[in-house]
Structure 1
Amino acid sequence: MPPAPLSRSGKSRRTTDSPISYFIQKALETPGLISFAAGLVDEGSLPVEEVGAAVAGIVADPLTGRAALQYGSTQGLPELREQVLQLVCDADGVRPSDVNLTADDVCITTGSQQLLYLLGEVLFDPGDIVITEAPSYFVFHSLLQSHGAKVLTVPLDEHGMRMDALESLLERLRRSGDLARVKVIYTVDYFQNPTGLTLAVDRRAKLVELARQYSTNHRIIVLEDAAYRELRFTGADLPSVKRFDPKNEFVVYTSTFSKPCSPGLKTGYALMPPDVMAPLLHLKGSHDFGSGNLSQHVASRLIASGAYAKHAEHLRNVYRKKRDLMVQALETEFRDFPAARWTVPAGGFYVWLTFDGIDTGPDGPLVPAALEAGVLYVPGQFGHVFDDTDSVPNNECRLCFGVATEDQIPEGIRRLRKACAAISAGKREKVKASV
Structure 2
Amino acid sequence: MPPAPLSRSGKSRRTTDSPITYFIKKALETPGLVSFAAGLVDEGSLPVDEVRAAATEILSDPRAGQTALQYGSTHGMPELRRQVLDLVCGLDGVNPSDLNLTPNDVCITTGSQQLLYLLGEVMFDPGDIVISEAPSYFVYHSLLQSHGAEVLTVPMDEHGMDVDALDALLDRLRRSGDLPRVKVIYTVDYFQNPTGLTLSLERRKRLVEIAKRYSTAHRILILEDAAYRELKFSGPDLPSIKSFDPANEFVVYTSTFSKPCAPGLKTGYAILPPDVLAPILHLKGSHDFGSTNLSQHLLSRMMASGAYQAHAEKLRTVYRNKRDLMLSALESEFRDFPAARWTVPDGGFYVWFTLDGVDTGPNGPLVPAALEAGVLYVPGEFGHVPDANGHMPKNECRLCYGVATEPEITEGIRRLRKACAAVAAGKPKKEPVGV
Which band: TM-score by shorter chain? Answer: over 0.9
Q: Any idea what the Cα deviations from partners look like across 1:48-74, whole Å, max 9, x if unmatched?
A: 000000000001101100000000000
Q: Which residue of 1 aligns with 2:196?
A: 196
Counterpart residue number, 1:174: 174
Tell whether 2:401 aligns with 1:413.
Answer: no
Give the letter aligned to residue 159 of structure 2. H
Which residue number corresponds to residue 255 of structure 2? 255
Question: C-alpha deviations, 1:260-299, integer Å up to 9, x for none?
Answer: 0000000000000000000000000000000000000001
Give, as a single letter, the amino acid of the residue that structure 1 aligns with 2:70: Q
Residue 353 of structure 1 aligns with an amino acid whose one-letter code is F
1:98 counterpart = 2:106: no
Provide the residue aligned with 2:221 in structure 1: 221
Partner of 1:211: 211
Task: Give the corresponding residue for 1:156.
Answer: 156
Correspondence 1:17-416 to 2 at 5 A:
17-416=17-416
Mapped to 2, the partners of 1:183 and 1:219 lie a distance apart of 7
Match of 1:433 in 2: none
- Residue 332 of structure 1 deviates from its aligned partner by 0.2
| 1:12-66 superposed Cα distances (whole Å, 9 cap, x missing partner) | 0000000000000000000000000000000000000000000000011011000
Residue deviations 1:296-339, cap 9 Å, x none? Answer: 00010010000000000000000000000000000000010011
The alignment partner of 1:127 has SS state of: coil
Runs (4 or more) in structure 1 with deviation over 2 Å come to none
Please tell me the residue identity of whatever aligns with 2:351: V
Please give the alpha-carbon distance, in whole angstroms, between the structure 2 residues aligned to 1:32 and 1:57.
Answer: 40
**Local SS of the residue matching 1:426:** coil
Structure 2 counterpart of 1:204, one-letter code: R
SS of aligned partner of 2:230 = helix
* Whole-angstrom CA distance in 1 between matches of 2:423 and 2:86: 52
Distance 1:378 1:202 in 2: 31
How far apart, in 1, do the equivalents of 2:17 and 2:182 lie?
Answer: 26
Name the amino acid aligned to 1:339: A
Q: Output the CA distance in 2 between the equivalents of 1:320 and 1:135.
A: 23
Supply the distance in 2 between the matched residues of 1:250 and 1:200 (Cα, whole angstroms): 19
Following superposition, the deviation at residue 235 of structure 1 comes to 2.4
Superposed CA deviations along residues 402-429 of structure 1, whole A, max 9, x for unmatched, are 000000001000000000000111179x
* Offset from partner CA, 1:198-237 (integer Å, 9 cap, x none): 0000000100000000000000000000000000000232
Equivalents in 2 of 1:191, 1:267: separation in Å? 20
Please give the TM-score of this superposition, normalised by the length of structure 2: 0.98
Q: Compare 107-116 and 386-395 and name the one that shifted more.
A: 386-395
d(CA) in 2 for partners of 1:162, 1:88: 25
Q: Percent identity?
A: 79
Question: What is the identity, as a one-letter code, of the residue corresponding to 2:267?
Answer: T
- Determine helix, strand or coil for the equivalent of 2:425: helix
- Count residues in correspondence: 428
Residue matched to 2:12 = 12
Q: In the aligned structure 1, how far is the partner of 2:352 from the partner of 2:106?
A: 33
Aligned residue type for 2:282: H
What SS class does the counterpart of residue 281 from structure 2 fall into?
A: helix
**Which segments of 5 or more consecutive residues in structure 2 lack a partner in the other structure?**
429-435
1-side partners of 2:347 and 2:201: how far apart?
16
2:252 match: secondary structure: strand
Of the structure 1 ranges 227-236 and 361-370, higher mean CA displacement relative to structure 2 is found in 227-236
Secondary structure of 2:186's counterpart equals: strand
Residue 388 of structure 1: how far off its partner (Å): 2.6
Distance in 2 (CA, whole Å) between partners of 1:333 and 1:71 is 53
Which secondary structure state, in structure 1, belongs to the residue aligned with residue 394 of structure 2? coil
How far apart, CA to CA, are the structure 2 residues paired with 1:356 and 1:155?
Answer: 18
| Corresponding residue for residue 432 of structure 1 | none
Secondary structure of 1:218's aligned partner: coil
Query: SS of the counterpart of 2:406?
Result: coil
Q: Whole-Å Cα distance in 2 between the matches of residues 222 and 321 of structure 1?
A: 33
Q: CA deviation at 1:132?
A: 0.3
RMSD of aligned Cα (Å): 0.8
The offset of 1:386, in angstroms, is 1.4
Secondary structure of residue in 2 paired with 1:382 = helix
Q: Which moved more, 1:34-43 or 1:380-389?
A: 380-389
CA distance in structure 1 between the aligned counterparts of 2:375 and 2:427, rounded to whole angstroms: 21
Residue identity matched to 2:363: D
Q: Which amino acid aligns with 1:176?
A: S
- SS in structure 1 of the partner of residue 5 of structure 2: coil
Looking at structure 1, the residues matched to 238 and 304 of structure 2 have their Cα atoms a distance apart, in angstroms, of 24
Amino acid corresponding to residue 156 of structure 1 in structure 2: M
Moved more, 403-412 or 419-428: 419-428
CA deviation map 1:238-270 (0-9, x unaligned) = 100000000000000000000000000000000
Aligned equivalents of 1:322, 1:194: Cα separation in 2? 16
